[in-house]
Amino acid sequence: MTPVALARAPWPDPYLNVDDYDPEADLMVINLGPQHPSTHGVFRVVLYLDGEIIIKAIPHPGYLHRGVEKLCEKLTYAQITPIVDKNDYVAPMLNEQAVNMAFEKMLGVEVPLRARYMRTILAEIQRVASHLLWLGTFAMDLGGALGGGTSVFMYCFRERESILNLFEDLTGCRFHYNTHTVGGQRHDIPAGWAAKVHQTLEAISQRIPEYETMLEHPIFVRRTKGVGVIDADLALELGLTGPLLRASGVDHDLRRDAPYHIYDQLKDLAVAVESEGDCMARYKVRVKELRESIRIARMLIDNVPEGPISGGRPIKQPGQFKAKGGQVYVGIETPRGELGTYLIAGGGKMGDTPYRLKIRPPSLHALACVPYVFPGHSLSDAVAILGSLDPIMGEVDR
Amino acid sequence: MAVNESDRSFDHPLYETLERFPGLDLATTAVDKVLTWGANNSQWIFPMATSCCGIEFMAAAASLVDLDRMGSITRGSPRQSDLMVVAGTITVKMAPRVKRLWDQMPEPKWCIAMGSCAISGDFYRDIYSVIPGIDVAIPVDVYIPGCPPNPEQLMAGMLRLQEKVNLKRAGLWSPPETRPETGKTIEPAIKRLLQAGRDERITAAQLDQAMSLMLPAVDLPPRPEPEPEPTAEADAGTTEAPAAPATPDGGHHE
Ligand code: SF4
């Protein structure tokens, strides 16, 4: 890939040769990570500092490489769902949906309408939980600005806990649900669940203004406004998707542009777009998405049609689904962007396992902008930028 | 296969000083009680939160379960903490870093393995890049099963740890005997990092690859040939994760 030339002087070059840098300068090398509270997992960035200003950043992922794609080649289609749960562990529902949609497309299994409604609702509620977790940890990354930074974290986790309770009622697990199967859902909506969803989401939507007042603090604004600007060209070049791309002014959302589930019936889906491309814009986009997801979930939960939750025969044995060959790609919109699943069928003796399963994680592409965006910022801004990218190392390294 | 637990905890220089003076040695019991009480009720946690279990750990530290009420504060530095909670999958690349951070923690220190991944590697245990449980590298005091364990289970594990500390100080604790049917381990074909008998060429190749990623043009001194790679040892206490001089490595930063 040819490096993207950025207009932002004076440190535009991610491939800067440190030896050629000003010999008078007081250079220092600092490791951020792999174990650092602000890296949201195990991610290491080698930072070259001139004083306090970063001149070069080299990201080193791979500390959580668990070989998921290789593992999936040994397992049958019905067995893969609980494995991919562990990739993006902040939004496991979306991972399950992504692989299962790929399998359904490959095997030609029809998903009944009720299951599609349920998937949409679960995806939106999961998006709320994921953005809440992001908001809490981001506020904590920014630290002292917000009363020790942990107050927003505590509030956000309180709301997230109530969403986990919803999922626990439905599936029996707090996360790693294993509730999607090829062709539908495993667990039907229990009695009284819709009322609980309304109650929980109503409570959360009433509290969002509270967070906004907390985060409209002048210190928060000064630490995020104009920090970590990703312009639209760079974002498109690096393959950023989701809130990061929308915060850079590109109006792109797979839910509207390539609808799946029942998103094509949602004519009034509002896509949050900001043009600044800085940390503040990313924060604004995510808070708008919080509101929108709550609205969609509350709108749909009353209209779930009756009917079966799973198409085709119930899964009795793991090797039930067989495909001799062929390839499909399915991309869905997760809280972090486009989660793609590329599947080549026909592995195993019977053709009941994937030959190859490639997962396109949005966070990996988000981290690709680190060498482009970090230079020129101070060390403390690096933490803010990394937090605003919302990387989940489980899906970066897989 | 698991690392033997060293009993060096509480070998405080204070005791040696007290024992040197006749009469004062009687005070050791009282001092000991105070130290044990303190160690028990202020277990500051160093979270080795690598993956999904780390999110549950965060949930445990947050508002609903609130580990703070046990006197456990989460610290970002190993030098300020007494308890390492290993929450998540530990890979071959991460294991030397975990070991190094563990070595940086001051005695007395404790370790909780949270989740199946930290205990045994979960379903990743046969994958080339995952170590089968953190106890191949550092001694573990309490195992909390689950994928992931609930925050309440983590709380129960902390209570078990307090019991264990008390019993250890009273001299009543003995390691539980493993039942033969559950105690057996399945050996992987290629020995894992930090496991005795591992082919050193594999370690060297992996290290070379890892080091080659570091782009600064530093002249690495030639690696001394006859010395065995230190990471190949399974022994606790003597191992130091290898790092070439003047190259950045994990754990320095705080
Ligand atoms: S035990 Fe389960 S939840 Fe915990 S890190 Fe491993 S896969 Fe994730």
**Among B106, B78, B89, B92, CA closest to B11:** B106
Q: What is the mean pLDDT of chain A?
A: 82
Both tokens assigned to A388: 């605003």
**Phi then psi dihedrals of residue A255, to 5 deg:** -65, -30
For A297-315, the pLDDT digits (tens) are 888 888 888 888 887 666 6
Say if CB B91 and CB B97 are below 8 A apart. Answer: no
Whether B63 contacts chain A with CB within 8 A: yes
| DSSP E strand boundaries for chain B | 45-49, 83-87, 110-114, 142-144
Q: Which atom of ligand 1 is nearest to the CA of B116?
A: 1
> Residue B51 and residue A30: Cβ atoms within 8 Å?
no
Number of H-type helices and E-type strands within chain B: 8, 4
Average pLDDT in the A182-209 region?
Answer: 87
Beta pairing, strands A27-32 & A44-50: antiparallel
Q: Please give, rounded to a whole number of angstroms, the shortest distance from the CA of B50 to a CA of chain A.
A: 5
Low-confidence residues in chain B, pLDDT < 70: 1-12, 25, 175-190, 192-195, 206, 209-254
For range A144-150, the mean pLDDT: 55
Q: What is the pLDDT of residue B244?
A: 43
Cα distance from A21 to chain B (closest Cα, Å)?
13
Cβ-based burial of B132 (10 A; exposed 0-12, middle 13-18, buried ≥19): buried
Contact A227, A377 (CB under 8 A): yes
- A158 vs B contacts (CB less than 8 Å): 62-64
Q: Mean pLDDT throughout A162-170?
A: 89
ipTM of the complex: 0.83
How does pLDDT run across A339-370, given as a tens digit for each residue? 989 988 887 777 788 888 899 989 888 888 88
This prediction's pTM = 0.80
Q: What share of chain B is helix, strand, coil (3-state, %, to 5)?
A: 40, 10, 50
Provide mean pLDDT across the span A137-146: 70
Q: What is the per-residue pLDDT across B65-81, written as a single tens digit (0 to 9) for each? A: 888 888 888 877 888 88
CA distance A61 to chain B (A): 10
Residues with CB under 6 A from ligand 1: A 86; B 51-53, 88-89, 115-117, 122, 147-148
CA distance B188 to B206: 18
Cα separation of the two ends of chain B: 32
Chain A environment of B253 (Cβ under 8 Å): 30-33, 36
DSSP state of A57: E
Find, among A1, A2, A8, A3, the residue nearest to A374 by Cα: A8
- Between A36 and A234, residue with greater pLDDT: A234
Task: Give the pair of three-digit tokens for residue A286.
Answer: 């995510």
Nearest residue of A to residue B131, measured between CA atoms: A66
Query: What pLDDT, on the 0 to 100 scale, is given for residue A299?
Result: 87
What are the residues facing A59 on neighbouring strands? A45
**pLDDT at residue A319, as a whole number:** 67
From chain B, the residues in CB contact with A29 under 8 A are 216, 248
- Above 50 in pLDDT, residue A148? yes
- B217 touching chain A per CB within 8 A: yes
Half-sphere exposure of B179 (CA within 13 A, CB side): 2
pLDDT in tens, A73-119: 888 888 888 888 888 888 888 998 998 888 888 888 888 888 888 89
Which residue has its alpha carbon closest to ligand 1 atom 3?
B148
Smallest Cα–Cα separation from A273: which of A262, A261, A282, A263?
A282
Please report the number of interchain residue pairs, chain A to chain B, with beta-carbon separation below 8 angstroms. 114
Nearest to B42 by CA among B158, B198, B146: B158
Instruction: Identify residue B132 by its one-letter amino acid code.
Output: P
What distance in angstroms lies between residue A389's CA and the mean position of ligand 1's atoms? 23
Helix/strand/coil for B16: helix
CA distances A166 to A133, A174, A355, B58, B249, Å, are 16, 9, 36, 19, 42
Are B207 and B201 in contact by the 8 Å Cβ rule? The answer is no
Q: How far from each other are the two terminal CA atoms of chain A, in whole angstroms? A: 23
Q: What's the pLDDT score for residue B233?
A: 47
Q: What's the burial of B47, exposed, middle or buried (CB within 10 Å: 0-12/13-18/19+)?
A: buried
Picking from A129-133, A184-188, B30-34, B45-49, which range would have the lowest pLDDT averaged per residue?
Answer: B30-34
Q: Is the pLDDT of residue A188 over 80?
A: yes
pLDDT digits (tens, 9 = 90+) for A1-54: 344 444 443 335 667 677 677 777 778 888 887 777 666 778 888 888 888 888
Q: pLDDT tens, A235-273?
A: 888 888 888 888 888 888 888 888 888 888 888 888 888
Residue A183 has a pLDDT of: 82
> Chain A contact for B88, CB < 8 A?
yes
Shortest alpha-carbon distance between residue A68 and chain B (Å): 8
Q: What is the pLDDT of residue A3?
A: 41
Record: contact B129-A66, CB cut-off 8 A: yes
